[in-house]
Amino acid sequence: MTNHYYMLDYIHEGPRALADTLSENEKGLEEFIQKSRTKGIDRILVTGLGSSFAAALMSEPLFRAVCPIPVMMVNGEEVGYYRDTWITPHSLVVSISRSGERGSVVEAQKWVWEVGGLGLAVTSRTDNLLCEYAGNSLITREGPEISFPKTKSVLACTGILMRLALAFGDKHSTNGQAIVKELYEMPQIIEENIKILEPFFQSLTAEYAKRSLLNVVGTGSNHGLALDAAVKVQEASFIPTRGDSTAGLLHGPVGAFDPRWLVMALITPEDLEVSAELLKQVREFRASCIAVHDPSVALQGLSDHAAALSRSVSLYLAAMAYMPAVQLLAYYWTVARGMNPDKPASMDSLMGSMLPPGRQEAEYKEP
Could you report the per-residue pLDDT of 135-178, keeping only the tens digit for each?
A: 999 999 999 999 999 999 999 999 999 999 999 987 656 677 89
Give the closest residue to 73 by CA, choosing from 59, 84, 91, 88.
Answer: 59
Supply the pTM of this predicted model.
Answer: 0.92
* The pLDDT of residue 101: 86
* The pLDDT of residue 362: 58
Query: Can you tell me the distance from the alpha carbon of 220 to that of 123, in angstroms, rounded to the nearest whole number?
Result: 24
Confidence of residue 100 (pLDDT cuts 50, 70, 90): confident
* The pLDDT of residue 173: 65
Write the CB contacts of 23 (distance below 8 Å, at least 6 apart in sequence). Answer: none
CB 178 within 8 A of CB 315: no
Give the closest residue to 208 by CA, choosing from 166, 241, 256.
Answer: 241
What mean pLDDT is predicted for residues 88-112? Answer: 92
* The pLDDT of residue 349: 52
Side chain identity, residue 55? A
What mean pLDDT is predicted for residues 34-52? Answer: 96
Per DSSP, 330 falls in state H
What mean pLDDT is predicted for residues 263-281? Answer: 96
Highest mean pLDDT among 93-102, 164-173, 196-205: 196-205
* The pLDDT of residue 365: 38
User: What share of the chain in percent tops pLDDT 90?
Assistant: 84
Task: Please give the domain boundaries of the chain with CATH numbers for all domains.
Answer: 6-169 (3.40.50.10490), 193-344 (3.40.50.10490)
Question: Radius of gyration (Cα) for the chain, nearest Å?
Answer: 20
* The pLDDT of residue 358: 54
* The pLDDT of residue 367: 34
What mean pLDDT is predicted for residues 196-225? Answer: 97
Confidence of residue 2 (pLDDT cuts 50, 70, 90): low
Q: How confident is the prediction for the chain on average, in pLDDT?
A: 92
Give the closest residue to 258 by CA, choosing from 287, 215, 288.
Answer: 287
Report in angstroms the alpha-carbon separations of 274 from 318, 330, 367: 17, 25, 47
User: What share of the chain in percent tops pLDDT 70?
Assistant: 92
Write the CB contacts of 287 (distance below 8 Å, at least 6 apart in sequence). Answer: 257, 258, 259, 260, 261, 262, 263
Convert the pLDDT of each residue in 326-366 to its tens digit: 999 999 999 999 999 999 876 555 544 555 555 455 554 34
* The pLDDT of residue 304: 96
* The pLDDT of residue 11: 98
What mean pLDDT is predicted for residues 43-50? Answer: 96
